[in-house]
């Protein structure tokens, strides 16, 4: 018989991290812990990770929903279908079930990645901040071997951001360094096309979410007119059902989509977006969303099953002072899985 409990864990950033939604110093995650009464020493663990201001969940009801899931874990298939408004809990439940099926060894998806044979290439994330701070991050990432960087833009003066891009391109051509930028919806529909025209001078790979989600007509027009490839990110949040996903992509016709399982309905929701994008030949990549190493492990293993040639937007487990030690390892811009490194699961031992 399957039983469940959950715990809350507040992750502490090593340094305050700037986003378009403010500066982050901590981030909460909840962990669903499943066990079979016949094998109580085997635990399946899944992370339910939210980002305030971005995740669609009703946070006032979040823990009561988790408790409901724990109390009705014997109806897990029903639960998975009824958690559409709590996509992070969907993802946590899906991955906890996969983990317990794997006898708790955290091997959720069999692939060459988990067998330590093939790494996943990732982009380096540059956090928002003043010019000197961003340039310092960029230099460090390039020195560490990254050939694809993602810059958050939209929080400081646009001219200053252009100056940063100009400085980068003065030293590194697009043949050497691929640049992605993420506006997190910071541009107005009226100013967006002008800014996209200016940004296109810097040989950028793409821009994520130039305007806020939900403005389908305006976004469709931008995708049609923009000289710079547009990737949908926040636009995918809250869209459920394969038909609705197909309709959105057909209407907007983006150049790329970006999948964050914790925000779009977990594995099932991501699979639907991949199916819908495939029918329209829209490329995609998968991105983590500030999860701990429990969630990052699940997302990385899931991403590895697709052999996607694009750099993935995966974290590295290095953001937090109190993360969970695990086999994930970063070598340059290659995320690897080192089976010789063991998980430290002491956090999940019952007190």
| Cross-strand pairs, 31 | 7, 47
Q: Is 41 helix (H, G, I), strand (E, B) or coil?
A: strand
Q: Is 260 a catalytic residue?
A: yes
Structure tokens at 171: 């030293």
**Annotated catalytic residue within 27, 65, 195, 260:** 260
- And the tokens for 313? 């937007």
Three-state DSSP class for 205?
A: coil
The string over 164-201, giving b where at least 16 C-beta atoms fall within 10 Å of a residue's C-beta and e elsewhere, is bbeebbeebeeeebbbbbbbbbbbeeeebbebbeebee
**113 Cβ neighbours under 8 A, 6+ residues apart:** 119, 120, 300, 301, 304, 336, 337
Is residue 152 annotated as part of the catalytic site, yes or no?
yes
Burial of 255 (0-12, 13-18, 19+ CB in 10 A): middle
The gap from C-alpha 66 to its chain's centroid, in whole angstroms, comes to: 21
CB 333 within 8 A of CB 147: yes
Catalytic residue among 27, 152, 195, 245: 152
Q: How many helices (H) and strands (E) does the chain have?
A: 10, 13
Cα gap 84→64, rounded to integer Å? 16
What Rg, from alpha-carbon coordinates, does the chain have? 20
Give me the active site residues, please.
152, 260
């Amino acid at each position: 018989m399957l039983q469940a409990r959950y715990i809350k864990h507040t992750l502490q950033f090593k340094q305050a991290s700037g986003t378009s939604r403010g500066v982050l110093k901590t981030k909460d995650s909840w962990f669903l812990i499943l066990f079979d009464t016949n094998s109580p020493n085997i635990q399946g663990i899944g992370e339910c990770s939210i980002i305030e201001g971005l995740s669609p969940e009703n946070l006032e009801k979040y823990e009561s929903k988790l408790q409901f899931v724990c109390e009705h874990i014997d109806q897990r298939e029903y639960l998975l279908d009824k958690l559409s408004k709590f996509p992070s809990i969907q993802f946590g439940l899906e991955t906890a079930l996969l983990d317990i099926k794997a006898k708790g060894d955290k091997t959720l998806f069999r692939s060459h990645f988990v067998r330590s044979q093939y790494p996943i290439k990732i982009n380096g994330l540059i956090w928002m901040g003043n010019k000197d701070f961003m340039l310092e991050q960029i230099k460090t990432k390039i020195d560490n071997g990254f050939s694809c960087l993602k810059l958050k833009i939209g929080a400081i003066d646009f001219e200053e951001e252009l100056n940063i891009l100009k400085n980068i391109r003065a030293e590194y051509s697009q043949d050497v360094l691929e640049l992605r930028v993420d506006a997190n919806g910071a541009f107005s529909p009226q100013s967006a096309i002008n800014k996209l025209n200016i940004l296109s001078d810097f040989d950028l790979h793409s821009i994520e979410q130039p305007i806020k989600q939900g403005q389908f007509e305006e976004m469709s027009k931008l995708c049609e007119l923009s000289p710079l490839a547009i990737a949908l990110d926040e636009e995918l949040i809250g869209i459920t059902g394969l038909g609705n996903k197909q309709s959105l992509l057909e209407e907007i016709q983006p150049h790329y989509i970006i999948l964050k399982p914790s925000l779009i309905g977990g594995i099932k929701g991501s699979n639907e977006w991949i199916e819908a994008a495939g029918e329209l030949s829209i490329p995609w990549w998968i991105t983590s969303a500030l999860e701990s190493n429990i969630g990052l492990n699940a997302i990385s293993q899931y991403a590895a099953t697709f052999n996607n040639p694009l750099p993935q937007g995966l974290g590295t487990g290095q953001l937090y002072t109190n993360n969970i030690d695990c086999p994930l390892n970063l070598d340059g811009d290659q995320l690897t899985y080192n089976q010789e490194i063991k998980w430290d699961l002491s956090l999940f031992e019952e007190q």
